[in-house]
Chain A
Amino acid sequence: MNVIEIKDLVKIYNSSEVQVKAVNGITINFEEGEFTAVVGPSGSGKTTFLNMLGGLDRPTSGSVKIGGINVWDLSSRKLIDFRMNNIGFVFQSYNLIPVLTAGENVEFIMHLQGRPKKEREQRTKELLETVGIGDRIKSRPAKLSGGQQQRVAVARALASKPEFILADEPTANLDSTATSGLLELMSQMNKKYNTTFIFATHDQRVMDKARRIITIDDGKIIKDERFER
């Protein structure tokens, strides 16, 4: 079953002198439970593609349907709520809220969703234990290593029970041990919760784990491969 249906997606950036087609007519579908890497050289349009997919960057034309809803038809207010309830984000530089503890960072999105305190606390504890840092629940991000911060970010992304998680270069700032640990974790989460993971990456270790690799260049899909892993 298709979770995401993308049709003729185009993004043109207009600078003062030239027009840049960052994404140039992408049509593609993602199914539930996929573990997909979107790869390509720097400037190929991976991040722009992911941003449009995640409802962050408005496309110049084309549509992004998630669960049958064209996200770019939503009002900006509804789009924010849609993101909150359906999409989890993991960023390259973790982007945790520095003044909140690991636990509070995970809990925060559930607070935005208006979930009861007891449920929030229980799920936060469970998620942090699942990502292997249950003992650091009271630590602030500054007291955590890069790998640990990214684990908190994954727990946060999962906290809202999203349809899928978009991860933009999640391993770019991590050493190899942290990277393999994180990839293993995300792979487990993918299997455990059947959550769709879509990565933008040029990290070979991520590609080695992915069951589908979409290669983009000059804003176009040039390859779409599936692997049994």
Chain B
Amino acid sequence: MLFSISWRNIWRNKVRSLVIIFSIALGIFAGVAATAFMKGLAEQRIQKVIKTELSYIQIHKEGFRQNSDFKGYMPDATQLVSEIRKIPNVIGATERIVVQAMAATAETATGVLVSGVDFENEPKVTNLSEKLIEGEYLKGIKKNPVVIGKKLAEKLNAKIRTRIVITLQDTANNVVSGLFRVSGIYTTNNNMYDESHVFVKAADIRSLTELPEGAAHEIAINIDDNENLPLVEESIKKLATGYEVLDWKSLRPEMNYLTEAMDLYMYIFIIIILLALLFGIINTMLMVVMERTKEIGMLMAIGMNKMRIFFMIILESTLLSLTGGVVGIIIGALFSKWKSVEPIDLSMWAQGYEQLGYDAYVYMSLDPMMLVNITIMVIFTGVIAALYPAYKALKNDPADALRME
């Protein structure tokens, strides 16, 4: 019956209650939508890094990632790759020859990271071949094709078929150069990456550097689902003993922190929203208690104890908050669902976003657990908001309250 009284009390002053419900709904909607937006942004960034730049797991010789020494190769890389492909949940594995080099056109030169890739297996691991805006992926040029990023192409003033001289050190520390021609230009929307990463055929770089057959610096592995990552990683570690096996979280720890940081920011954001709403609810509940002084006095007189009165006011505030909260959550969830299919177009600010490696089209992503947490936070806000008004109500003396007209 207390629940019924509290619920019906909310609707005694419809306009006032609707105003506060609307405020809460709006605040929670903003919180949910912002959360879904930020989560979508972070997930897309991570997915992009995994699919385009990293892959799920990489294997290197110990120390290679720190010093990039050309001699830090794995002599049995090809053999290892063929064994890794047999592991369940692995959908692609490829080796790469990775070397720091100087890329020069007739006009200018710049430092780059050259990846010599198995151009047939690389597309099973990363999707860079789908990011071409011009030309083909290591095709269309008979000898020594190279794929470069759009930003690098602009810097080197290179176009399709432009000759690029790549200069690097071989295994014997001799400086060697090779003449390559641009077969394709890609863009990942991450300008920093596009400016520094070039791709050539592994065979071309192998012959240039005299790297032994079957050897490579890096093995990249693609799996079917991030959920299976620990399992696959464990299996790979057993095969690649003596090598450094790292998943994307270890390869780019900042990506892992990104989701954690985003979650933290979002909780702070929602707490700020709820804090602002808290004062509105306190104000409403204070008005409620003051308006009903006589009624509360009567309830005390006829035998409703303080605990029940306290609970009734807490319940009213909680139901009021929860009504607004649930409306906000539903609208926010529906909006996020819609925007998970129809992306939010930020192309107007694309340049800035892309500089940071984010997409200009953001697909929202909502974590159901976040909705549960927001609901709990709304309930908590309702309870907190009612504490002072409930305390005021309990201070009422029934005899004094009943004398009021």
A residues near B, CB below 8 A? 47, 51, 54, 56-57, 76-77, 80-81, 83-85, 89, 91, 93, 95, 97-100, 104, 107-109, 111-113, 156, 160
B306/A83 in contact, CB under 8 A:
no
In the bound complex, what is the Cα–Cα distance between A100 and B7 (angstroms)? 11
**CB-defined interface of B283-306 with A at 8 Å, one 1/0 digit per residue?**
000000000001100111111111
Residues of B within 8 A of A89 (CB): 298, 301-302
Which listed residue, B12, B298, B305, touches A91 by the CB 8 Å rule? Answer: B298
Q: Are B5 and A83 in contact (CB under 8 A)?
A: no
Nearest B residue to A95 by beta-carbon distance?
A: B298
B402 near A98 (CB under 8 angstroms)?
no
**Which of B12, B302, B305 is most buried by chain A, counting CB atoms within 10 A of its CB?**
B302
Contacting pair A91 B402 (CB below 8 A): yes
A98 to B398 alpha-carbon distance, docked (Å): 18
Residues A97 and B295 in contact in the complex (CB < 8 Å), given A51-B399, A56-B399, A112-B308: yes
Q: Are B8 and A56 neighbours in the complex by a CB distance under 8 Å?
A: no
Q: Which of B12, B299, B300 contacts A98 (CB 8 A)?
A: B12
Given A98-B12, A99-B8, A100-B5 in contact, is the A84-B302 Cβ separation under 8 Å? yes
Q: Can you list, as one digit per residue, whether each of B389-401 has a CB less than 8 Å from chain A (1) or not (0)?
A: 0000000011100
| Pairs across A and B, CB under 8 Å, 20 listed | A56-B399, A77-B306, A80-B300, A80-B306, A81-B305, A84-B303, A84-B304, A85-B303, A89-B301, A93-B405, A97-B5, A100-B8, A104-B1, A104-B4, A107-B1, A108-B1, A109-B303, A111-B1, A112-B303, A156-B302
Cβ contacts under 8 Å, B402 to chain A: 51, 56, 91, 95
Which residues of A lie under 8 Å from residue B304 when comparing CB positions?
A: 80, 84, 112
Q: What B residues does A107 contact at CB under 8 A?
A: 1
Inter-chain contact A99/B12, CB cutoff 8 Å: yes
Q: In the bound complex, what is the Cα–Cα distance between A112 and B2 (angstroms)?
A: 10
Residues from chain A with a CB closer than 8 A to the CB of B8 are: 99-100
Q: What 0/1 readout, one digit per residue, does chain B (2-16) give for beta carbons within 8 Å of chain A?
A: 001100110010000
Tell me the smallest distance from the CB of A57 to a CB of chain B, in Å: 4
Residue of A nearest to B403 (CB): A47
Q: Which residue of A lies closest to B401 (CB)?
A: A56
Closest B residue by C-beta to A80: B305
Chain A residue at minimum C-beta to C-beta distance from B8: A99
Residues of chain A contacted by B298 (CB below 8 angstroms): 89, 91, 95
CB distance from A55 to the nearest CB of B (A): 9
**Residues of the A chain whose Cβ atoms lie less than 8 Å from the Cβ of B9:** 99
* A81–B301 CA distance with the chains assembled, in angstroms: 10
Q: Are A160 and B399 in contact (CB under 8 A)?
A: no
Known A99-B5, A104-B1; judge A56-B12 contact (CB<8 A): no
Q: Within 8 Å CB of A85, what residues of B?
A: 303
Residue of B nearest to A156 (CB): B302
The minimal Cβ–Cβ distance linking A79 to chain B, given in whole angstroms, is 10
CA distance A185 to B306 in the complex (A): 33
Contact B294 A95 (CB under 8 A): yes
What's the least CB distance linking B47 to chain A, in Å?
53
**CA separation between A54 and B297, bound complex, in Å?**
13
Which residue of chain B has its CB nearest to the CB of A140?
B8
- Shortest Cβ distance from residue A46 to the other chain B in the assembled complex, whole angstroms: 13
Given contacts A95-B402, A97-B295, contact A54 B303 (CB under 8 A): no
Pairwise interchain contact B399-A57, C-beta atoms closer than 8 A: yes
- CB pair B295–A83 under 8 Å, yes or no, is no
Measured CB to CB, the closest approach of chain A to B39, in angstroms, equals 41
- Cα of A109 to Cα of B1 in the assembled complex, Å: 11
Please measure, in the bound complex, the distance between the C-alpha atom of A54 and the C-alpha atom of B402, giving whole angstroms.
13
| Residue from the set B4, B12, B299, B305 with the largest chain A CB neighbour count within 10 Å | B305
A51 to B12, CA, bound (A): 30
- Bound-state CA distance A137–B196 (Å) is 82
Bound together, the chains give a CA A62 to CA B229 distance in angstroms of: 81
What is the minimal beta-carbon distance from B66 to any residue of chain A, in angstroms? 71
Q: A97-B5, A97-B295, A99-B5 are in contact. Are A56 and B306 (CB under 8 A)?
A: no
Bound state CA distance, A113 and B303, in angstroms? Answer: 9
Tell me which residues across on chain B come within 8 A of A108, comparing CB atoms: 1
How far apart sit A202 and B9, CA to CA, in the bound complex (Å)? 35
Which residues in B have their C-beta under 8 angstroms from that of A160?
Answer: 303
Nearest CB of B to A28, in Å? 20
**Contact at A95–B303, with CB atoms within 8 Å?**
no
Nearest-neighbour CB distance to chain B for A228, whole angstroms, equals: 33
In the A-B complex, the 5 residue pairs with the smallest Cβ-Cβ separation, listed nearest first, are A84-B303, A99-B8, A57-B399, A95-B298, A56-B399
Which chain B residues border A57 with CB–CB below 8 Å?
A: 397, 399
In the complex, what residues of A have CB within 8 A of residue B4's CB?
A: 100, 104
Nearest chain A CB to B314 CB, angstrom units: 17
Residues of A within 8 A of B301 (CB): 54, 56, 83, 89
| Contact call A95/B306, Cβ cutoff below 8 A | no
- Min CB distance, A138 to chain B, in Å? 14
Residues of A contacting B399 in the complex (Cβ-Cβ under 8 angstroms): 51, 56-57
A83 to B303, CA, bound (A): 6
B-side contacts of A83, CB under 8 Å: 301-303
